[in-house]
Amino acid sequence: MSEPRNVLLLVGSPRCERSNSYAIGKFIVHKLEEKGLSFEEAFATRLVNTQKGTERLLKSVDNADIIVLATPLYIDSFPSPTIKALELIHEHRKAVSPTKTQLLVAIMNNGSPEKEHMDIALKIIRNFAQESNFKWGGGIRVGWGYALNSEPLNEKKGRTRKLTRGLSLASVNLAEGQPISEEAEDLASTLFAPLFLAKIIIRLVVNPGWNKQAKENNAKAKMRDMPYELKT
Amino acid sequence: MKTVIFNGAKEGDLIMNAIENTIADQLTAKGWEIEPIELRNMQIAACVGCLGCWLKTPGTCVINDDGRETTRKAIQSDLMVWLTPVTFGGYSSELKKAIDRMLPSMLPYFGSYHGQIYHKMRYKKFPNLLVIGVQEPGVDYEETFMALAGRNQLNFRLPAYAASVFQRDKNPETIPAFVEQQLKKVEVIS
């Protein structure tokens, strides 16, 4: 593959700019921008339901040398607008063969701390890459996405140090037109805290935190409501 | 006993429609109540990830469209059937739209299940699940597809589930036997 010039950040989260997917994706494309690549952003949710949006999405994909798909995991797979984007891109590439080698990188994040929840989604996106004539550029699985708070990633913060180091390493590979190294994949996919500690924090801090958030909406007393329970 | 069938096929998919009709026929013959839902004809917006169904209107999606009804029907059924073209080893966007909108059936709280962290379930009972994918010739994503259904079983804590792939180029006359075999797997017919 010749030296890449254009990167497309395809955001799969319906939360768009307010998402962890965007924060993570933005970090890596900024690293690529520092290395002289130009980048474009596209949000699946905003594009897949209209003809004009679809045309824009497909044009952006055609133009890119590297596509970074940054997406959350929704119920074991990708959110429906992300799948729709993949379906549209695949149909387009069946009709119009790509004229250059293009790398596809997937960066996923998930609410649970274990990255293994994303293994099936990773297989799905690899299948897509193969079936749609992309060169596989690697996959990163970020566990415990809630802990990122959708904030821009900070290289100095303990919570995001491994992730940002891994993404920075990945950007070096990608800028050379190479798939992400195993070292970069592993580092970026490593949880910032040991799993046993994450589980304790979830029990003591995260779970009570949901009640606090519900209280702000006057919904705490209804948290366990079962509106669709059949009355017998 | 109630079955709700979510058909995530595109318009005019004869094989998927034949599978849907066969499931309906075989279960009706056993006295089941069937509700087929052609998802492409429903008004279901994509989940926006706002978590309002956990934190604002617990148990109910804040989007007032057919997505609320599909979730209600799923929770109130004894068997839920998902039909989909195998899409890179996963589900079609049409089916996934309805599945994503089932988030209100979960609670925000995390708990440990089978050694991993999952969201806890809102309801004590969730239906059994049968997932059938129709796969195009020339690809083999059966393993991924089955594994995805297996993870769904863990995520929704389903009492029983079965998943299988039907090859699109297979003789349609084999559909009744195929469906019968799948319904046996999910223990709804003996």
Q: What is the pLDDT of residues B126-149, one digit of tens each?
A: 999 999 999 999 999 999 999 999
Q: Hey, what are B6's tokens?
A: 């979510």
**Strand partners for A142:** A109
Contact A210 B109 (CB under 8 A): yes
Q: Which chain A residues touch B102 with a CB distance below 8 Å?
A: 75
Q: Mind listing the pLDDT tens digit for each residue in B2-40?
A: 999 999 999 999 999 999 999 999 999 999 999 999 999
Predicted local distance difference test score (pLDDT) of residue A155: 83
CA distance B40 to B42: 6
Contact B92 A83 (CB under 8 A): yes
Of A80, A214, A224, the CB nearest to B100: A80
Contact A76 B151 (CB under 8 A): yes
Q: Using the predicted structure, report yes or no on whether residue B51 has a pLDDT greater than 70.
A: yes
Predicted local distance difference test score (pLDDT) of residue A3: 86
Mean pLDDT of chain B: 96
CA distance A214 to A218: 6
Q: Could you give the percent of chain B with pLDDT greater than 70?
A: 99
Helix axes A119-131, B142-156, angle to 10 degrees: 150
Which residues lie below 8 Å from residue B71, measured CB to CB, with a gap of 6+?
A228, B61, B98, B101, B102, B104, B105
Predicted local distance difference test score (pLDDT) of residue B189: 66
Q: What is the mean pLDDT of residues A89-110?
A: 94
Predicted local distance difference test score (pLDDT) of residue A100: 93
Q: What is the mean pLDDT of residues A172-198?
A: 95
CA distance B34 to B112: 34
A190 closest CA partner among A126, A138, A113, A134: A113
Q: Hey, what are A226's tokens?
A: 């079962």
Predicted local distance difference test score (pLDDT) of residue A156: 79
- pTM over 0.95, yes/no: yes
Q: What is the mean pLDDT of residues A221-227?
A: 97
CA distance A79 to A71: 8
Q: Which residues of B155-168 are buried (b: 16+ CB within 10 A; e: fewer)?
A: bbbbeebbbbbbbb
Predicted local distance difference test score (pLDDT) of residue A145: 86
A79 closest CA partner among A124, A130, A113: A124
Of B107, B144, B147, the CB nearest to A127: B144
**Nearest CA of chain B to the CA of A35: how many Å?**
33
Predicted local distance difference test score (pLDDT) of residue B91: 98
Predicted local distance difference test score (pLDDT) of residue A37: 97
Predicted local distance difference test score (pLDDT) of residue A128: 98
- Radius of gyration of chain A from its Cα atoms, rounded to whole angstroms: 19
State the CB neighbour count (10 A cutoff) for residue A1.
15
Q: Mind listing the pLDDT tens digit for each residue in A129-183?
A: 999 999 999 999 999 888 888 889 988 788 889 999 999 999 999 999 999 999 9
Q: Using the predicted structure, report yes or no on whether residue A232 has a pLDDT greater than 80.
A: no
CA distance B87 to A71: 17
Q: Using the predicted structure, report yes or no on whether residue B183 has a pLDDT greater than 70.
A: yes
Contact B96 A128 (CB under 8 A): no
How many residue pairs from chains A and B have C-beta atoms closer than 8 A?
Answer: 151
Q: Using the predicted structure, report yes or no on whether residue A1 has a pLDDT greater than 80.
A: no
Q: Hey, what are A114's tokens?
A: 């274990």
Q: Which residues of B171-184 are buried (b: 16+ CB within 10 A; e: fewer)?
A: eeeebeebbeebbe
Q: What is the mean pLDDT of residues B48-61?
A: 97
CA distance A51 to A47: 8
Please tell me whether residue B19 adopts helix, strand or coil conformation. Answer: helix
Q: What is the identity of the amino acid at A87?
A: E
What is the band of A81 on the pLDDT scale with cuts at 50, 70, 90? very high
